[in-house]
Structure 1
Amino acid sequence: MNNSIKQSKHIVDFSASYAIQISQLYHTAVQGIVHPRYPKLKLNVWSSAPRSAKFWQQQYKRNKAWVMLDNQQVIGFISLETHFKYRGYIDCLYVHPNYQHQGVASALYKHLQHWALQQQYPNLTVDASYLSKALFEKMGFIEQHTNYQQKRGQMFTSFYMKKILTT
């Protein structure tokens, strides 16, 4: 793990008991974004309120997910599609605002990549936001194309990126 991650922090597999904390973290992370490309109206469309625990429990029945804990508090999470044509797609990567820029996202990604290599996944893909694009580039992802999605009158831009794991 990154040297800036203290020993009290560790990564564990998702379990349903973390769903409420993940829901709150997701909403807090989105609402905590301060960036000119993400005005308040857009953030409210992205996450107007925490989703139900049941949503996250259902979401991670079909995906593989990990959480980073700091003294049993969820401070970040990442998930990966494991079935069908989306196998290897990184679905979510969120870090609580109080823990951003401390190596949490990098540690979560490296944990996911290690697991994917063990499973012999040929590649990983992600739709990176403006905010996460640099992290994925640093991890070796290459931009394939730009995506645009309209949701409730707001346009969301993402960058579809890919990393080859095997040669």
Structure 2
Amino acid sequence: MNNSTSNNPRITIRKGTGSDLPEMLQLFTATIDEVGKKDYDLQQLEAWKSGAENKERWMDVIRNQYVLLAVAGNTIVGFCSLDQGNYIDLLFVHKDHQHKGIAFLLYHQIEQEALQCNEKKLTADVSKTARPFFEKTGFQVIQEQTVRVKGIAMTNYKMVKHLIS
């Protein structure tokens, strides 16, 4: 799965493995810190990042979800996961690689996987930060939600995209 964008000619897409987890977790927390700060306050960012502490959940993601990584050189610059064939669980792009088409590359491959599995729609619970990207790819907000992470209330959005094969 070699893909490239005009801004990133050397991005490759590959499946994630357990050995990728430390770098994925680092990308997850650094991206939330930097990219999420325009939409969430410090308490909310700390609560969101605490998800990295749940090693069992991340091992479950690697074992049971379809996980794709965007790699530049030997560095993971983004990742996306598809759970149960139709739920986008995670989509993160490294803070230093935003707005270069990486999220779209990952998303497109995930959508293709869902279509190959004869899925009729994709769903996701999306942060305020990611909502514009998901809307650009054809998702619609079903409802605004308040989720609690470690007792801290955060707003996100249940979104859906109906797929056409």
Q: TM-score, normalised by structure 1?
A: 0.88
Q: Output the CA distance in 2 between the equivalents of 1:25 and 1:157.
A: 22
| Equivalent in the alignment of 2:64 | 62
CA contact (8 A) 2:35 2:129 kept: no
| Equivalent in the alignment of 2:5 | 2
The match for 2:153 among 152, 155, 159 is: 155
The match for 1:45 among 36, 40, 47 is: 47
Shift of 1:144: 0.8
CA contact (8 A) 1:22 1:56 kept: no
Q: Output the CA distance in 2 between the equivalents of 1:40 and 1:68.
A: 28
CA contact (8 A) 1:20 1:53 kept: no
| Equivalent in the alignment of 1:110 | 108
The match for 1:164 among 157, 162, 165 is: 162
Summarize the Cα distance change of 1:117–1:42 in structure 2 as closer, same or farther, 3 Å threshold: same
Tell me which moved more, 113-122 or 26-35.
26-35
User: How many equivalent residue pairs?
Assistant: 162
Shift of 1:55: 4.4
Q: Output the CA distance in 2 between the equivalents of 1:153 and 1:54.
A: 20
AA paired with 1:137?
E
Instruction: Summarize deviations over 1:132-167 as a string: whole Å, max 9, x none.
Output: 111111101111111111223421111111111137
Shift of 1:48: 4.2
Shift of 1:21: 0.6
Q: Output the CA distance in 2 between the equivalents of 1:23 and 1:52.
A: 10
Q: TM-score, normalised by structure 2?
A: 0.89
Per the alignment, in what secondary structure is the counterpart of residue 32 of structure 1? helix
Matched, 1:94 2:92: yes
Stretches of structure 2 lacking an aligned partner (at least 5 in a row): none
Q: Output the CA distance in 2 between the equivalents of 1:114 and 1:66.
A: 12
Instruction: Summarize deviations over 1:25-50 as a string: whole Å, max 9, x none.
Output: 11111111354431112111111484
AA paired with 2:123?
T
CA contact (8 A) 2:5 2:11 kept: no
Instruction: Summarize deviations over 1:50-71 as a string: whole Å, max 9, x none.
Output: 4376642322211111000011
Which one has the bigger helix percentage? Answer: 2
